[in-house]
């Protein structure tokens, strides 16, 4: 299957308008590989037929299938390690600061199939079970893509997925075998909420957040889109909270409304106070 420049630009424009995700010309091979299963499933002869169907604007299921297929959902448990190490050091301070409310909100935005939010749940169980006993902990996992959210809700992973980022000890402690796969234990599912949120669309009401993981998604957006998302995050992340971006992501050249703080092998961001008008 060959993607013509016109088809490529139509599909890229469709993806950008709906999700903010940008693909460059070097990613034409991705479109071919990712859309082939969608076309096969629907018996669509070629990309031109698929594009025509999308242009009608009437097949919303096909639209979602195409968007989900074109996005990258790559993730793993404890991805990049250092944000989790940094969070481990941050939590005792946060616990002191929230000693009266005894309430923490942690948001994994663009959580993909759940490895990130369950890593956070495991970290809390593993290191802060006693310290946080009796606390209300809200772990919120959101993504644009319903199919990956469904996988996250199920919390069942293949041998390969479980082998990426998890020590044998953590696997034995937090997963149970299930028909050749691995299911996350109830202790780590409890308190996790899954919601569909398009970061580039209108957000539903969100609670003020203590910690936000917004990792490995901004890399796909242009600068104005990143700036708009960070402005909304600014209003949500508490002044003594923390926002983590991915290892290849930065606020440089995007916004100066956040304070960069050095952590353990990575940095995180705190909202600077907004000047009074």
Q: Indicate which single residue of 19, 119, 255, 267 sits in contact with ligand SAM (rule: CB under 6 A).
A: 19
Nearer to ligand SAM, 10 or 144 (CB): 144
- Which residue in 28, 47, 70, 110 binds ligand SAM (CB under 6 A)? 110
In the bound state with ligand SAM, the residue whose beta carbon lies nearer, of 135 and 249, is: 249
**Which of residues 44, 51, 64, 72 is near ligand SAM by CB under 6 A?**
72
Of positions 64, 82, 198, 257, contacts ligand SAM by CB under 6 A:
198
> Closest approach of Cβ 85 to ligand SAM, in Å?
15
Q: Using the minimum distance from each CB to ligand SAM, give the nearer residue, 72 or 98.
A: 72
Is 114 one of the binding residues for ligand SAM (CB under 6 A)?
A: no
- Closest approach of ligand SAM to the CB of residue 246, in Å: 6
Instruction: Using the minimum distance from each CB to ligand SAM, give the nearer residue, 4 or 158.
Output: 158
Does 75 contact ligand SAM by CB under 6 A?
yes
The region of 56-64, 73-81, 96-104, 179-187 touching ligand SAM under the rule CB under 6 A is 73-81
**DSSP codes of every residue in the chain:** ----HHHHHHHHHHHHHHH-----GGGHHHHHHHHHHHHHHTT--SHHHHHHHHHHT--HHHHHHHHHHHS-----TTTTSHHHHHHHHHHHHHHHHTTTT-EEEEEEET-TTTHHHHHHHHHHHHHHTTTTTT-EEEEEEEES-HHHHHHHHHTEE-HHHHHSS--HHHHHHHEEEETTEEEE-HHHHTTEEEEE--TTSPPPP---EEEEEE-SSGGGS-HHHHHHHHHHHHHHEEEEEEEEE-TT---TTT-SSEEEEE-SSSEEEEEPPPPP-
Q: Which residues bind ligand SAM (CB under 6 A)?
A: 19-21, 71-75, 79, 110-112, 116, 143-145, 148, 198-200, 215-217, 246
């Amino acid at each position: 299957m060959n993607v013509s420049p016109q088809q490529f630009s139509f599909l890229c424009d469709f993806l950008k308008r709906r999700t903010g995700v940008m693909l460059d010309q070097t990613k034409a091979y991705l479109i071919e590989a990712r859309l082939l299963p969608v076309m096969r499933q629907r018996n669509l002869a070629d990309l031109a037929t698929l594009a025509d169907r999308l242009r009608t604007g009437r097949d919303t299921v096909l639209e979602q299938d195409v968007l989900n297929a074109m996005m990258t959902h790559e993730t793993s448990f404890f991805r990049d390690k250092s944000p989790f190490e940094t969070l481990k050091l941050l939590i005792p301070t946060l616990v002191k600061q929230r000693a009266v409310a005894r309430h923490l909100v942690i948001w994994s935005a663009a959580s993909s199939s759940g490895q990130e939010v369950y890593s956070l749940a495991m970290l809390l169980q593993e290191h802060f079970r006693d310290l946080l006993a009796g606390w209300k902990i809200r772990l919120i996992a959101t993504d644009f893509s319903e199919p990956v959210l469904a996988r996250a809700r199920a919390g069942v992973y293949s041998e390969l997925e479980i082998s990426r980022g998890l020590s044998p000890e953590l696997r034995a402690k937090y997963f149970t075998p299930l028909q050749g796969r691995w299911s996350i234990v109830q202790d780590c599912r409890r308190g996790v909420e899954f919601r569909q949120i398009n970061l580039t669309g209108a957000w539903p009401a969100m609670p003020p957040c203590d910690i936000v993981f917004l990792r490995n998604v901004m890399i796909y957006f242009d600068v104005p889109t990143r700036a708009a998302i960070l402005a909304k995050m600014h209003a949500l992340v508490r002044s003594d909270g923390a926002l983590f971006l991915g290892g290849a992501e930065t606020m440089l050249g995007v916004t100066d409304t956040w304070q960069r703080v050095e952590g353990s092998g990575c940095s995180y961001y705190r909202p600077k106070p907004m000047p009074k008008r």
